[in-house]
Structures are given as C-alpha cells and as structure tokens.
C-alpha cells in the first residue's frame, strides 16, 4: 500500500514541537484554525476546513516529546481507517519529525494531492514552532488553484 | 517499494509547464540554477547543488505537453536507478502535474526527506511557471536547518 512519508527538522526542543502536535491550540496554529475536541488518548479531535471539508482524528498514541499517532475516524472516504503518525527525535538542537500517513488503499490522484499538501502543512508546522507564525487553514498554501 | 508521489496544478498551458520540465533554462528556474547537459531523449542532464551534491538524469521519455521521464544515473547511492516522472494533463485552464519518484529500495530517513523536498521544489516549479519566479537552488526552501 502506498504511504505518504515526509521528514522535516525544526529548530526546537522536542517538547515544543510536541505541544504543536498534541494540544488544540498548538494544532490550530499550523493545520487549521478551526480545531476542537479532545486531544487526550482515546479522544477525537475535530479539524474543520470550512467548505473544503473536515477530518476527525482519534488519538491512539500520545507520548510526550516522542510520538503522536492518530486514526482517521471521519472525513473523506479514502482517509477513513488510515493512520497519521509523527515521530519526534532530538538532533543537535533540532527536532526531527518523521511523518507517516499510512493505510491508503490506492495511490489515487487525491492521495498524490494529499502528499504535497501534507508537505506544505509540515512546513507550516516548522514555521509555527520556529517563528510563531504558521499557515493554517484558511491561510494555507494552495498546491492547486481551486482553494486547495 | 515506497514511492514519492505528489500532485500540483499550475495555471498554465501544458506546453508552458512542459518547457519548464524539458529544457535546460526551464529546469534552471525551479530546481537548480546550475543545470547543464543534454535534455533530448537519451541525453543526460547534470543538476548541481554546490556542496550539497549532484544528480545526473538520463532522459528516457520526453513527450511534448504530456510527459517527462528521467532515470537517475548519477547522484546519491539510493537514487541510482530510480525514476522520476512528470505526467501533465490539461484541466480547465490549469495543468495538472502528477509526479512520481519510484524505485526506492527502502523508506529510509533520507527518502522521507526527499519526499518533502520534492514538494517544495514542485511548489517552486508552480511559482516559476505562474509568476516567473521559482526558488531553485541555491535559493531553495529548506526543510531542515542544515542548508537542506
């Protein structure tokens, strides 16, 4: 099965990057400003993207400074049941983030799009942690020309 | 085997995007300013990234307005023998680019890095075609903090 895989390094302590991935205010600063729900293990986080759609993520793992794993429980059909993992490791003053969105059934055109879009959101995460300014929806970088 | 897959849409005719993928001046405006060699089918294009490294691509396919396929014949060990394809299709005033870097032997940390880095270069391609200003090396977007 095809996976979406990315790696970035963020000038931060892992604990700072972890906050951006594991708390509602943190997530709101780089993915979508409309983030609500329960970020504890077993909780569901609701990510809303206006008329672009929504994603509901069940928090499966949340290891401070180390790892966040979500399972998609609401959103586009092809996302349901897939998992999104962020693994963090310190690296000489940086935090390396290994990103994996796995469980896709096929390498659809939409999956290709999501791969590129995730990259731009990870750059938003990097910027949010390093500078305090990310580019969450509705200020996100568009990889196409139809608001997406 | 893991693939790097991306999709962008560029406000352009496919013929314009094709020029950016299939000519030395075009490539120099979004991937690396140090691009030399022979962009015809069977030729080898030399992409140089200063002390960051180099890639040599043999042009396997070059279908005007439709497709470019390269085979990596020089560069990092894990790149040798892999292929990089750009498939273009018109879409209501846009050109959709389906990007596939295939043939990786393993989902290494470097492969994750390259996936994110390709996304930023594809955004550079989009910007180069749409606005005339890309972000080729040495003006490329860094996804880590060590000049890469």
Q: Which residues contact B5 (CB under 8 A, 6 or more apart)?
A: A2, A4, A107, A111, A112, A115, B98, B99, B100
- Which residue, among A2, A98, A122, A144, would best test binding to B if mutated, counting the most B CBs under 10 Å from its CB? A144
Share of chain B above pLDDT 90, in %: 97
Region of A92 (left: φ > 0; alpha: ψ -120 to 50; beta: rest) is left
| Interchain proximity A115–B115, CB inside 8 Å | yes
Chain A residue with CA closest to B100: the answer is A112
Which pLDDT band holds residue B147 (cuts at 50, 70, 90)?
A: confident
Chain B hits for A122, Cβ within 8 Å: 116, 143
Q: What percent of chain A has pLDDT over 70?
A: 100
- In angstroms, the CA B82 to CA B4 distance is 11
Kindly list the strands in the beta sheet with A94-102, ordered across the sheet, starting from the edge strand earlier in the chain: A4-10, A94-102, A83-91, A67-74, A54-63, A44-48, A34-37
Q: What percent of chain B has pLDDT over 70?
A: 100
Token code pair at residue A73: 């429980």
What pLDDT does B89 receive?
A: 98
Structure tokens at A70: 């979500």
The residues with which B88 forms a beta bridge, in sequence order, are B97
- List CB contacts (< 8 A) between A126 and chain B: 143
| Confidence (pLDDT) at B134 | 98
At residue B145 the predicted structure's pLDDT band, cuts being 50, 70 and 90, is confident
The share of chain A scoring above pLDDT 90, in percent, equals 97
Question: Which ranges in chain B belong to alpha helices (H)?
Answer: 14-22, 24-28, 109-131
pLDDT digits (tens, 9 = 90+) for B79-96: 999 999 999 999 999 999
Q: Which residue of B has its CA nearest to A145?
A: B9
Which chain B residues are closer than 8 Å to A120 by Cβ?
119, 123
B115–A146: do the CB atoms touch at under 8 Å? no
Q: Are strands B94-102 and B83-91 parallel, antiparallel or unpaired?
A: antiparallel
Q: Do A3 and B6 touch (CB under 8 A)?
A: no
Question: Would the CB atoms of A9 and B146 count as touching at under 8 Å?
Answer: yes
Q: What is the pTM of this model?
A: 0.98
What is the b/e burial string over B14-34, where b = at least 16 CB atoms within 10 angstroms of the residue's CB? beebbbbbbeeebbbbbbbbe
Q: How many CB atoms lie within 10 A of CB A4?
A: 25
Residue A10 pLDDT greater than 90, yes or no: yes
Angle at A72 between CA A65 and CA A130, to 5 degrees: 35
Name residue, tokens 């005719």. B13
- Banded model confidence at residue B146, pLDDT cuts 50, 70, 90: confident
Q: Summarize pLDDT for A92-146 with one digit per residue, the tens.
A: 999 999 999 999 999 999 999 999 999 999 999 999 999 999 999 999 999 998 8
Whether residue B8 and residue A144 make contact (CB cut-off 8 A), yes or no, is: yes
Q: Say yes or no for a CB contact (<8 Å) between A115 and B3.
A: no
Task: Give the residue-averaged pLDDT of B9-27.
Answer: 98
Is residue A49 within 8 Å of residue A56, measured between CB atoms? no
Give the angle subtended at the CA of A50 by the CAs of A27 and A81, to the nearest 5°: 65
Contacting residues of A for B94, CB less than 8 Å apart: 144-145
Nearest alpha-carbon partner for A79 in A51, A50, A113? A113
Furthest-apart CA atoms within chain B: distance in Å: 41
Which chain B residues are closer than 8 Å to A96 by Cβ? 109
Rg (CA), chain B: 14
Q: What average pLDDT does range A20-31 have in this prediction?
A: 98
Count of CB atoms situated within 10 Å of the CB of B92: 8
What CA–CA distance (Å, rounded) separates A36 from B122?
32
A111-148 exposure pattern, b = at least 16 Cβ within 10 A, e = fewer: bbbbbbbbbbbbbbbbbbbbeeebbbbeebeebbbeee
Task: Pick the residue from chain B with its C-alpha nearest to A141.
Answer: B123
| ipTM at complex level | 0.97
Searching chain B, which residue's CA lies closest to the CA of residue A121? B116
Task: Tell me how many residue pairs between chain A and chain B have CB atoms under 8 A apart.
Answer: 93
């Amino acid at each position: 099965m095809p996976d979406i895989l990315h790696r970035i390094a963020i000038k931060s302590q892992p604990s700072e990057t972890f906050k951006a991935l594991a708390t509602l205010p943190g997530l709101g600063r780089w993915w979508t400003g409309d983030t609500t729900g329960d970020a504890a293990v077993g909780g569901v986080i609701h990510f809303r993207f206006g008329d672009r759609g929504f994603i509901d993520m069940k928090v499966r793992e949340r290891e401070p400074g180390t790892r966040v794993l979500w399972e998609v429980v609401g959103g586009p059909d092809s996302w349901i049941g897939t998992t999104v993992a962020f693994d963090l490791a310190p690296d000489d003053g940086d935090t390396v983030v290994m990103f994996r969105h796995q469980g896709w059934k096929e390498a659809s055109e939409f999956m290709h799009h999501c791969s590129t879009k995730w990259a731009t959101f990870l750059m938003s995460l990097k910027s949010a942690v390093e500078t305090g300014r990310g580019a969450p929806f509705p200020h996100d970088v568009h990889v196409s020309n139809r608001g997406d």
